[in-house]
Structure 1
């Protein structure tokens, strides 16, 4: 009976064990979920078996948590070690609890005699990682772990702390480092006890940052340490042992050549950055007391009291850039920067003191500059506000052929951008004197204002004045100018050069004295526009004279047109007072036009003078008519062959119906075919070269009336009739006129009648014996009259007269030789003074003044 009972218990036990083994997976999973794992964890799959008496083989094990799931495959567990072939971890991001992190002392439940753990492959997939993470884990000694793969690290576990050492060459670290980081080496040592953490790192890094053709190479080496209090929480980071050097390469490529000397010392030398020994961080803030960057030659950059709110990225700091060099002197920029509520503001105070600065062949001597600028914007620069003011002074600005003395500049501006631009700016420039070659401008003042309103209306006003402009040929007194520019502002049109600008202005000159010409109260009205090219019209008004100047400023040309509309020539009178005070314009009109290019210095011109009459001293020229045209090329003026007509020239002898041809070229000014009526006859000169100091001329006389010649001689009691012709060889030598071997001869029978002539009657009384001979001349028919004509440069005219004729009353032939000398200059002066027409013109002009 007892044996039977034993067999029964054995059978029941075997049956129970068989049942339990058959359901081992479910039973173990339920037991672990119920009694071993925390509530947040659960085993969702488990498959295991005994590989041997002392080994368990787990083919798969699945653990689920709210934030991750773990799947373990192919595990061999024994008393001495656990070997895992593969572990897959899938991490899921989850909003953090409102309570946040709470520091607690670390308490790791470590077993003294547990088996060592080795995992061949751990794969981590997370939404926080761009790529899966893969590494292996090997426990080389109890609680000493070695990680390899994407992470190269060593991990030491103690009951109350853990220490890890991470190699910075780990692929994971390299993968998530900055893209411009070329090399990163070193080791980071972390000790963590739940309440605090200590970090010590040795770092070697090389980076190259390329921006707009400027390469910044950075080398970092040294150690850093950090103490992190997780209760406060607070981190104190010591960066003072980090050595950082920044070298800028090819950054001058974007700098204009004229300014390279000023930035070379700033950009060529490497910068050494000194970091603080106590950078303070909390979960919400970061504080940096001071960062200094210096280069060996010229620059120091300081950032102080840097504070940042990490959640909102609000920050503020103060900074200074100080530059010192022989080329630029002392330059300081103090700046305050603040970011708050996603709004950026910066304030700048700039000071410059430089003994000498050279820019674009200009040298600035003894210079000072002070300015304040403020900028405010949102972080995407959709709304920007700027404002500032400043002043600059230079004792002297010199160039090769020019100099500015005591130059002062003052300015202020304020502007905003929010889809549209708004700006208000004012500038004032003052200089005591500006010298350009032999010209000097005194007391120059320029005031300019610029505004862009909400409707994008651009207005620019410029006002300038100068006390005096000294020129080699004279001077200009009190110049005042005012210009207004207006446009509908468009930034794209401004960039492309298509912005259209209207220009209006005026210029006032109190007095102008050039080469003996004086003009007072000159007015210039200007209007035009700019659209890729500058086009201007100027109306110059002086007294009654009006001139229109039109010109364009193109890239390769500067065409211009000067138009003088038809107007009385009397409008020119004020201009002639200084250069020809005896010349008076009495009547007539003038018009003309000049068209050319200032850049090439070529021009064509035309002018017309109609019915013009002028009086010079007692010389009167009436009704001048002429029209001419020509061109200016290569510095030479050419006038094509043109016609001149003058109704009368009253200069002692009266010339009427004068006509001539004239031209001007490189060989000189030539007047040809000069014809005029005089003494009821004609005078003809084939050619006269103006401006020629020495020349020989031949004047031809035809059918001059002897009666009019005698009347011109004012010899009372002598009457002549008949006509004479002849030729006069005239020599001009440096302004002196002479005649040698000129000839006159009669062309018909003339008559000589002497009655009541005082000279002849006196001769008869003194020498009665000659009364019979002289009486033959009382009424003489002149068959032949010939005379030699000679004139000396001092005006003495000598006539050698030979007369052959007959006194018909006495039936007596007569041969009469007579030499007559008279100063013709004195004679012509007397004739001019007794000219009634000339006197009346002169009296009328005198009354009109």
Structure 2
């Protein structure tokens, strides 16, 4: 009886203990499992279990953390043969992300799992994995076929094997699986077979990839294909990834229709001929990611034909801000049908680029407004703020072309060197040096041109202000009308709201100063001719009239006006001008001209001029008159002077007018200077003459019609020892007595009609009335005389002292300016 009671009591005690243990199962389980799981690095956060009627373990919820990764399990039924989990959630931490300010970096450790040799097999019907690598959770089903060997299905397929120190997985992906995560365009596909190993710290992947990505923009199809093997390792503690993609064959291509979107057919044809549409991408050296820093030692992009290559080396960037942190070196070697060579070596440093470049072309594309051949371009470039306002901080370049053509402008053997620099204070400086063998524009040609241009500007003020200095020289300027030698133009200019410039011009020794102010509404200018010798104009004058030579004199002046309005006013002074025309000589000419130009017409107010001496056979002195220009028609009026001891006056003479009559009036002319040829002629005439000569000027030449000469007071005619006169008397005996009356004649009246033809033939109809004192006989003599006045004047000039004067002046001054 006592034993029975003891047995019942003991059983009750045991049952009480079991009952208490079941009632306090949760804290007891936690107390028991926590240290045991902790040995494997697993933390237990929650557990709720019970026993079924069949004594199966039913776990409603289980929360674990392993090396920062959290898993929640629910609906677990476990017995000796099987553990079935109906739902599970795995949250993978952002392994590459930043830690919270107050948190510490998770330290991953090598796997050291204590795996039992015998346990129930595990089956997870639904596992949702949340990670920073995908936008949507990855849903999986996991079944353990054999102990520690699992099959994964649903969103992707894999075989996983777990050992104490490593997790191995074979993962297969295809289009259907990929489309669960990303949207693949039509025609794209993706397959891969990967072997993954994880030891708790390092994830290693070996993959065989076959992928094609295709994207269409309207009619343009772009595609990228990758085929081959790739491997990668990721170290969790150091957040370091190493990817070897060298065995991948990557192809980029576009179809020809992509270029059909270029509207201009000429542009389209040119680009089609130059741009390869098939490229190969080679990643020859491993790519690494450490923390947020990606590095790629060498990436190449080559055309399939192998003629062109783009190499990107030493690339480093931050994954958080890839564009603003990019540091890389880029080399471009490009050759095409029309581009002989394009080379570019660039260094990208965050937001700046430094590069040197070289370009060679046989000719420019035909659709450009200008053409050139044998083009060579080389230089260096630095660009800042690449991703925003794109500022060119420094540029130096050399440009050359054998021939260039822009509309009617032709340039041969052109070379240019340019240097521009922009400081951090926004100060811009630019220098341009250019040369050309020749420049042709229509009928104008310039030879051996050199130009030096410098520009300095401060861009920080908000408006464009620039100081411009330039010097241009040319060996020769040739036009149909004129040729200039040794041209030089020195320019100083200021560009603000308008351009203000001053040009110091030299040509053939001539000097001028031009200032102008060019704006949208006006273009005023000022031309200053400093006082200088007029003889400097001889090289120009000789092109229009080779027989004219300036021997003396100075010129100066100033002209002001507006180019846009075609208006100008000027004042030009000429003093002490000496000039030679063949063997005509003019000395000491002076004039001050005030003129106005408006709408293509020149007008000069009546202006007095003087000429001290004109030698043209007869010596004309003290000439003066008025010059006036009306609507481009110059005229001289009230022209007076002294000749042959007397005076003359011309009412008006207009050099450019075809049909006009200028009336020349003479008075008090010394008859001896008019008639006597030389001292040996034996004929002398004394007395004074006056007359009127209507000079008719037309296209046919110069004529005198119905001119008259009359005597002023008495005169005398003497003929002594004149062989010609004596021969006439001997031949015509019947006139001998009459003619002898002329040998010593006191002239009472002399009248002569004067007619001059355009060919130079002069006709004089002379009526001579007088008295021969020796023979006490009155004389009334009529005489007609014809002679070529051009020949006569030539004879007078040759016999005049002008010959010596001309030779002297020409040798002294004219030859120095030829």
Whether these two folds match at TM > 0.5 is: yes
Closer, same or farther: CA 66–397 of 1 in aligned 2, 3 Å: closer
Q: How does 1:59-458 map to 2 (within 5 A)?
A: 95-100=105-110, 110=120, 151=137, 153-158=139-144, 160-165=148-153, 187-194=155-162, 195-201=168-174, 202=176, 203-204=178-179, 221-230=188-197, 233-240=203-210, 242-248=211-217, 269-283=220-234, 284-288=241-245, 289-297=248-256, 298-306=276-284, 307-311=286-290, 312-322=293-303, 332-339=308-315, 344-355=327-338, 368-371=340-343, 373-378=344-349, 380-381=350-351, 384-388=353-357, 390-394=358-362, 404=372, 407-409=374-376, 411-413=378-380, 425=396, 427=398, 429-431=400-402, 433=403, 444=413, 446=415, 448=417, 450=419
Task: Indicate the residue corresponding to 2:741 in structure 1.
Answer: 775
> Is 2:547 the partner of 1:582?
yes
Q: Which residue of 2 aligns with 1:485?
A: 454
Q: Per the alignment, in what secondary structure is the counterpart of residue 215 of structure 2?
A: strand
Structure 1 residue 391: Cα displacement: 5.0
Q: Is the 8 A contact 1:459 1:487 kept in 2?
A: yes
Deviation string, structure 1 residues 476-504 (Cα, Å, up to 9, x no partner): 65x2525263648x7x669x784745535
Distance 1:274 1:68 in 2: 35
| CA displacement, residues 506-560 of structure 1 (integer Å, 9 cap, x when unaligned) | 5252x6665586665x152534356467766554445643333556777788776
Does 2:663 correspond to 1:699? yes
What is the alpha-carbon distance in structure 2 between the residues aligned to residue 621 and residue 106 of structure 1?
A: 132
Aligned to 2:685: 719
Q: Is the 8 A contact 2:767 2:783 kept in 1?
A: yes
Counterpart Cα distance in 1 of 2:548 and 2:509: 18
Q: What is the aligned partner in structure 2 of residue 645 from structure 1?
A: 610
Q: In the alignment, is the contact (CA less than 8 A) between 2:718 and 2:742 conserved in 1?
A: no
Does the aligned pair in 1 maintain the 2:61–2:76 contact within 8 Å? no
| C-alpha separation in 1, matches of 2:118 and 2:254 | 51
Count how many residue pairs are aligned between Structure 1 and Structure 2.
739
- Aligned pair partner of 1:739 in 694, 704, 717: 704
Which digits, 9 at most, give the CA deviation of each residue in 1:320-341, with x for residues without a partner?
A: 34399xxxxx972332433269
Q: How has the CA–CA distance of structure 1 residues 843 and 339 changed in structure 2, closer, same or farther, with 3 Å as cutoff?
A: same
Residue matched to 1:790: 755
Q: Which consecutive residues of structure 2, in runs of 5 or more, have no partner in the other structure?
A: 94-99, 163-167, 235-240, 257-275, 319-325
Task: Report if the CA contact (8 A) 1:228-1:236 is conserved.
Answer: yes
CA 1:792–1:101 in 2, change beyond 3 Å: closer, same or farther?
farther
1:831–1:504 distance in 2 versus 1, CA, 3 Å: same
1:702 Cα offset (Å): 4.4
Do 1:346 and 1:375's aligned partners in 2 also have CA atoms closer than 8 Å? yes
CA contact (8 A) 1:659 1:675 kept: yes
1:619 is displaced (CA, Å) by 1.1
SS in 2 for 1:277: strand
Against the structure 1 CA distance between its residues 447 and 67, is the aligned structure 2 distance closer, same or farther, given a 3 Å change threshold? closer
Residues 233-272 of structure 1, C-alpha deviation per residue, up to 9 Å, x if partnerless?
Answer: 53233442x33213346xxxxxxxxxxxxxxxxxx63122
Q: How far apart are residue 697 of structure 1 and its match?
A: 0.9
Distance 1:837 1:105, change over 3 A: farther
Contact 2:477/2:484, CA 8 A, preserved across alignment? yes
Q: Please list the CA deviations of residues 669-697 of structure 1 after superposition, one character each: whole Å capped at 9, or x if unmatched.
A: 444444444445554444444344x4141
Distance in 1, Cα, partners of 2:309 & 2:768: 107
Deviation at 1:292, TM superposition (A): 0.4
Question: 1:303: Cα distance to partner?
Answer: 0.8
How big is the shift at 1:161?
4.4
How far apart are the structure 2 equivalents of 1:487 and 1:15? Answer: 103
Deviations 1:779-823 (A, max 9, x none): 5352x5433221122212112223456678988765443323222
Contact residue 648 and residue 658 of structure 1 kept, 8 A:
no
The answer to whether the 8 Å contact 2:416/2:435 transfers is no
Cα deviation, 1:60-109, whole Å, max 9, x if unaligned, reads 99989995899999x99999999999999998986333424579989995
Alignment of 1:6-25 (within 5 A): none
Q: CA deviation at 1:614?
A: 0.6
SS of 1:826's equivalent in the other structure is helix
For the residue of structure 1 that corresponds to 2:227, the secondary structure is: coil
Q: What CA deviation, in whole Å up to 9, does each residue of 1:19-50 have, x standing for no partner?
A: 977x976x333311233454547888899999
Provide closer, same or farther for how the CA distance between residues 108 and 630 of structure 1 changes in structure 2, counting only shifts above 3 A: farther
Q: Does the Cα contact within 8 Å between 2:381 and 2:392 map onto a contact in 1?
A: no
Structure 1's unaligned 5+ residue stretches are: 134-149, 167-186, 209-216, 250-267, 325-329, 356-366
Q: TM-score scaled to structure 1, two decimals?
A: 0.69
CA distance in structure 2 between the aligned counterparts of 1:89 and 1:698, rounded to whole angstroms:
118
2-structure distance, mates of 1:529, 1:42: 82
Superposed displacement of residue 308, structure 1: 0.9
> Aligned-residue CA RMSD in angstroms?
5.6
TM-score by length of 2: 0.72
Match status 1:608 vs 2:578:
no
The alignment partner of 2:758 has SS state of coil
The offset of 1:427, in angstroms, is 1.9
| CA-to-aligned-CA distance 1:742-771 (integer Å, 9 cap, x gap) | 33445x543344364736676667648754
Secondary structure at the aligned position of 1:99 is classed as: coil
Q: Post-superposition shift, 1:824?
A: 1.6
Secondary structure of residue in 1 paired with 2:659: strand
SS in 1 for 2:793: helix
3-state SS of paired residue (1:845): helix
Q: Indicate if the aligned counterparts of 1:106 and 1:193 stay in contact, CA closer than 8 A.
A: no
1:663 and 2:632 are equivalent in the alignment: no
